[in-house]
Chain A
Amino acid sequence: MSLAKKNSAEEGSVLVRDILRNLQKDFRVEFRSRFAVNIAVSFAGIVTISISLTAGGAPFPVKVQSILLWVVLFFSAMNGLAHIFVREEDQGTSLFLRITRSADSIYISKFIFNQIFMMIIGTVVTPLFVFFVGVDVIHVLHFIMSVIAGGFSIAASTTPLAAMAAKAGGKGSLFTIISFPILLPVLWISISSTAGALNEARPESGTVIFLLAFSGFITAISILLFRFIWLEN
């Protein structure tokens, strides 16, 4: 094996090791307090039950059901997605991470953490919403794909923005202000895709492809830019 190949293989294994260590640390810290997950799941539960209670069993049109599902998912996620970076700044651990880990490993681990967080939110909120609001899912596979692709896009788009908001002082409202415009197309397409799964007509797969393409694109750009956001000089 040539020296260059050996070096790149070593760099790769160091990157994977750092990502796993970061993830381990993030999950330990998160599940010690369970702050973000508790807040997000409680918020989702309260809102879903409130919607069902105030509707009093009256059926909503398909479009309204789909809008409400994504409003609940979006605001539940907003409470926790920025937390992963804000916590590092608040607790003063970001400087330590900057010194000991590469920017790439930090970004990838935070990205994976946010994706898992969003999956947990989706897994809890969606069945709860379907049950309480009485959603009649006709195209189950498309519905699941829409929720997964939409959640993936939300987590992918908000991860770099959470880092920016944390650097700006971690003001909660700032994160919502800067991420909402980027997430609007994701929400719009997710709502349209989910509504397609609740209608009798055959849903179009273009919406799911758009969501995956958008998140892939944003992730690629974010990986390239993260070192500029994360490193001071």
Chain B
Amino acid sequence: MKHVINIAMKSVYVLMPVTIVMAFLWAPPAELLGDYSRIIYFHVPLAWVSVLAFVVSGILSVIFLLDKKNRFSGLDGKSFNSAAIGLAFTVCTVMTGSIWAKLSWGSFWNWDPRETSIVFILLIYIAYFCLQAALAGKSSRGKIGSSYLIVAMATLPFFVFLIPRIVWSLHPETIINVNRTIYMDDQMWITLLTALISFSVLYVYLFNLMNRIMVLKHRIGEHPHAAD
């Protein structure tokens, strides 16, 4: 089973180049934005992985708080790692989103509800790392950090689904076609789905890597001369 998971994770070495080739060479350009529309194959998967990473960190936090018998070790550290990956992906989402905004709307930042929401999410998770830093060395660090992550996860639906619907938005049903509706042909859909799968596998790969580093650091901390 472990062997299968390892192979699945290593598929990222194939999936990512395939996604890049498909996004730039195979998928046709959209009618209105032309080649600029190719950013969708990176922006949407980055945003998806950001939310996925934050939800995983929230779920791990719930399990950490409910796990009174300590059956799963290092869950608070794992939720921290997932939040860190989520934060990095959110920064990339903001960057690709602002490039797309410049191409579509003429300026990098417009305070559109979706742009605003992603900034809120970014700030919430930056605040989480500030809280973790302030709690360094305290026994309550894991519990308080996990509680904050759950509160943060609980606010995600408000930012992702609710705010863009109650505040007027520039964010179109994607301005990539003349009639300003979502229309993607089969090649575009396949490329987007491949990108979503590739970035999700990349997340799993990074998450696993960070967890392994965390375990190694912990072991070195316990046995500082083990490597000698």
Contacts and interface: CB of A to CB of B under 8 A. Distances in A.
Given A160-B151, A185-B159, A229 B127 contact: no
Nearest to A210: B166
A84 B140 CA distance: 20
A221 B154 contact: yes
A228 B146 contact: yes
Kindly name the residue among A164, A177, A218, A222 whose own CB sees the greatest number of chain B CB atoms within 10 A: A164
Chain B interface, DSSP helix/strand/loop, else mixed: helix
A218 B127 contact: no
Interface string B115-153: 010001001101110110011001110011011101110
B151 A181 contact: no
B162 A178 contact: no
A168 B155 contact: no
A178 B131 contact: yes
Contacts of A31: none
Chain B interface extent, by class: 20 to 34
Nearest to A207: B166
Nearest to B116: A188
A19 B142 CA distance: 28
Kindly name the residue among B128, B152, B158 whose own CB sees the greatest number of chain A CB atoms within 10 A: B158
Interface string A142-182: 00000000000000000011001101110100100110111
A92 interface: no
Chain A interface extent, by class: 20 to 34
A174 B138 CA distance: 16
B159 A168 contact: no
Nearest to B121: A181
Interface in B136-187: 138-140, 143-144, 146-148, 150-152, 154-155, 158-159, 162-163, 166-167
Chain A interface, DSSP helix/strand/loop, else mixed: helix
A216 to B, nearest CB: 12
Interface string A194-220: 000000000000110010001001100
A222 B147 CA distance: 9
B124 A181 contact: yes
Contacts of B124: 181-182
B127 A164 contact: no
A225 B152 CA distance: 12
B30 interface: no
**Closest 10 interchain pairs by CB?**
A181-B123, A168-B134, A181-B124, A178-B127, A225-B147, A221-B154, A228-B143, A168-B135, A181-B127, A177-B130
15 contacts: A161-B151, A164-B144, A167-B144, A174-B130, A177-B127, A178-B130, A178-B131, A181-B126, A184-B123, A185-B159, A217-B158, A218-B151, A228-B144, A229-B144, A232-B139
